[in-house]
Structure 1
Amino acid sequence: MASVLLVVFVNGKICKDPNIISADDFFFPGLNMPGNTSNAQGSRVTPVNVNQLPGLNTLGISLVRIDYAPYGLNPPHTLPRATEVLVVVEGTLFVGFTLYPGDVFVFPEGLIHFQFNVGKTNAFVFAGLSSQNPGVITIANAVFGSDPPISLDVLTKAFQVDANVNIYLQAQFK
C-alpha cells in the first residue's frame, strides 16, 4: 500500500512534519552584514520572516535589519499584519521626529510610516514584527505602480495636482 503524504498549511505556509524538521528551519545567518544600499532609495531591508526561516510559522514574530546610506530612505509603507518595534543601532533617523542610537519607536499595525537617514554616515536598525508574515505595502508603488493603473482622473482629483505630474509619477513605477 502506497503511503499518502499529507501537506498541512498554517497561515498559508507549509507546516513541516515534526519528524523532518532540522535546526536549519530555525537558523538564519548574516544579519551582522550590512545590506547593499546602492539603489534609488538608498536603503535595504533584510527580512527574516517565515519565507526565510520556516521555523517561524505559527510563532507570530519576525524581524528585519534595515540599512541606510547617508540620506537613505525606507519609503512610506504600511505593514498590514504586524506592529513594528524599531531600535536604532547606528545613525540618526527621522521618522516624524529624530531618533538616535538606542532609541526605540513603535509603529502600530497598519500605520503608514517611513524612516529617513538624516545623517552624513550610514545608519542601521533592527525591527521586531508581531507576525511571522507581516507583509509590506509601499505606498508610492501601490498608488502609482498599480496594475491595472489607477485612473488619471482619480489621481488628479485625489492629489490636487496636474495630470502630467501623475503621468510622470506612474512612469517611474512601470
Structure 2
Amino acid sequence: IQIESVIGDMAYSEKKNIEAAKEGDYELIAKLNPIITQGNRRKEDEFEFNKDAGMYQCKAGHLAIHKYFDKRKKDKKNKNPRMVYFFDIEKCKCCPYRDGCYKEGAKKKTYTETIICDSHSEQVKFQETEHFKEKMRERYKIEAKNSELKHRHGYDVASSSGLICMEMQGAMTIFAVNLKRIIKLMNEK
C-alpha cells in the first residue's frame, strides 16, 4: 500500500511520528500539542520577551539577570531543550507583584522557555497551510466511524484472544459497517 497521508489527533504528533512521516515520504495530518506551539505559559501577561536585551522581563519591568541553556538529561532523551532565565531575587522580595509570583524564602526565581526542534517547527508551518486545514476538516468523519465500530458493533473489546482473532474481528466488523453503508446508499437511489 502506498501511503500518502496519515490523519490523527494530537497524540500522533509526537516527534518520532513526525520524523517517521518525513522518512516514509508521507504527510502527517495531526495538530501539535498547544504546549509545543504556544509554550507552557499559563500566565502570559506576567513575562514578556524583550528583544533588545534578549531576556524575559516580569510585569514589574525587571529583566532577567542571566540565562542558561539546558540541553536536558540523557534520561529525558525525547524532551526538547530549554532556556532558563534567572531573575534577581532581591528585586522579587520587594516587588509589588510578588504575590503569586515569588514564594517567600525561595533562593531563586526562574522562567523557563522550551525551544522547539526543527521537526516541530516544520510541522507548525505545515499545520498553518490550507491543505492541512482542509484535511483536518475531514477528520471528524473518521472519529464518527471509529465510534460506530466501537460502540454499535462491539469493536471496543476483543471477543477472542490472539492477534489473528483480533484481525478477524476487525475485518468482520469493518465488513459489516461497509455492508450497512452500501445498503443505505442503494436505498437512497
Establish whether TM, by shorter chain, passes 0.5.
no
Q: Aligning the two structures, in what range does the TM-score lie when normalised by the shorter sequence?
A: under 0.3
Q: Which has the higher strand share?
A: 1
Q: Which has the higher contact order (CA 8 A, sep 6+)?
A: 1
Structure 1 length-normalised TM: 0.18
Q: Which has the higher helix share?
A: 2
Larger Rg: 2
Structure 2 length-normalised TM: 0.17
